C-alpha cells in the first residue's frame, strides 16, 4: 500500500487511523508475522491490541505463535486476497 494511499485513507477516515496503519503494515508484508510490540513500533501507534484481535476475529489475521503472540495476514481469506490485489494495482 503506497504511503499516499495510506495518507488519503487516514484523511477520509480519521477515526480509523490506527486500523488503517495496522492493515497497511500487514498488506505491505503479507508473509511476515509481527508481535503487538513490533506492530506498535512499525506503525508509530500505541495500544493496537484491540485492532489486532478484531482483525483476528474477522479472520483477516491469524495467530502464528503464542509466546510471544505473533500475527500474520491470513492469505486464505478471500477479502485479504482481494485487498492484496487492490494494493498491487495502486
Strands annotated E in 1-90:
33-35, 61-66, 69-73
Mean pLDDT, range 5-28, rounded to an integer: 83
60-89 pLDDT per residue, tens: 999 999 999 999 999 999 999 998 998 887
pLDDT of residue 24: 93
27-50 pLDDT per residue, tens: 999 999 999 999 999 999 999 999
> How many structural domains are present in the chain?
1
The residue segments making up the domain with residue 34 are: 3-88
CATH of the domain at 42: 1.10.10.10
50-60 pLDDT per residue, tens: 999 999 999 99
Let me know: does 12 contact 35? Beta carbons within 8 Å.
Answer: no
Amino acid at each position: 500500500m503506497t504511503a499516499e494511499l495510506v495518507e488519503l485513507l487516514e484523511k477520509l477516515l480519521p477515526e480509523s487511523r490506527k486500523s488503517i496503519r495496522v492493515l497497511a503494515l500487514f498488506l505491505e508484508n503479507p508473509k511476515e508475522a509481527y508481535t503487538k510490540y513490533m506492530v506498535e513500533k512499525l506503525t508509530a501507534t500505541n495500544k493496537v491490541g484491540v485492532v489486532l484481535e478484531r482483525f483476528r476475529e474477522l479472520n483477516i489475521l491469524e495467530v502464528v505463535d503464542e509466546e510471544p503472540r505473533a500475527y500474520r495476514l491470513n492469505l486464505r481469506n478471500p477479502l485479504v486476497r482481494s485487498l492484496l490485489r487492490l494494493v498491487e494495482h495502486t
